[in-house]
Amino acid sequence: MKKTIIAILLFGCIAIQCSAQEKVNNFVPGSDFRDMIQLGVKLGANYSSIYNVEGMQFNTDPRFGLATGVFVAIPMSKLFGFQPEILISQKGFHATGELLGNKYEFIRTTTFADIPLMISFKPTRSLNLLAGSQYSYLISEHDAFSSGSITLEQETEFKNADVRRNNVSFSCGLDYDLNHFVISFRSGWDISSNKGDGSASSPRYKNAWYQGTLGYRLVNN
């Protein structure tokens, strides 16, 4: 699954780069491209934390993480469109809490393959408003314990927790177009929690995040 996701991202980037050589001359600054298919790449950051925590004495602070990937804007009309994306997205949090009777402090970093599927409303040639669902697949999860009296047994409890690898989220935001460049802001909330079968005692939660990216787009006639 991981190799498939990475291969899709690489293929998307190569396709966009090849398209750039042929299509870039068709892009005229200041023109209205709302009724054209647009391909692009984006790079930025997430500012994420968690909510709906099921765990006693579990306090969190947000963290920054990488967000990068590809997108395609498909027009349904001049005002409405469909915009799927494929992103590699880091989320996480800094936490203090108690597990099996002992206090701990740690940083959790999760890396997801995020696939937002959003409907866009384009009231002007520069502004796009987007909202929709998002599917996420957990690629990796890393816990770094920085202090506290946590034991090897308790650390193993975290690592062996039955987490959910497939999540569904709600995402919304806006894109602001500046010729080739796209400034994007997103906000998202998990609908499903991170727990699997509920057998482990490590904290249960849902992810929430803000995302800001700078994209570069191409237009196909």
pLDDT of residue 21: 47
pLDDT of residue 187: 97
Residues in the chain: 221
- The tens-digit pLDDT sequence of the chain (221 residues) is 555 555 555 555 555 445 444 444 455 555 677 888 999 999 999 999 988 776 556 788 999 999 999 999 999 999 999 999 999 999 999 888 776 667 778 888 999 999 999 999 999 989 999 999 999 999 998 888 765 566 565 666 666 666 788 999 999 999 999 888 999 999 999 998 777 555 555 567 889 999 999 999 887 65
Predicted TM-score (pTM) of the model is 0.78
- Every domain of the chain and the residues it spans: 2-29+36-220
In whole angstroms, give the CA distance from residue 158 to residue 156. 5
124 DSSP assignment: S
Alpha helices by DSSP H, listed for 115-194, are 152-159
pLDDT of residue 27: 52
Q: Which CATH class for the 2-29+36-220 domain?
A: mainly beta
Other CB atoms within 10 A of residue 58 CB? 18
Q: Which long-range contacts (CB under 8 A, 24 or more apart) does 64-67 make?
A: 65/89, 65/90, 65/91, 65/92, 65/109, 66/90, 67/42, 67/43, 67/211, 67/213
35 DSSP assignment: T
CA distances from 23 to 8, 42, 176 (A): 22, 18, 21
CA distances from 206 to 42, 100, 142 (A): 25, 22, 17
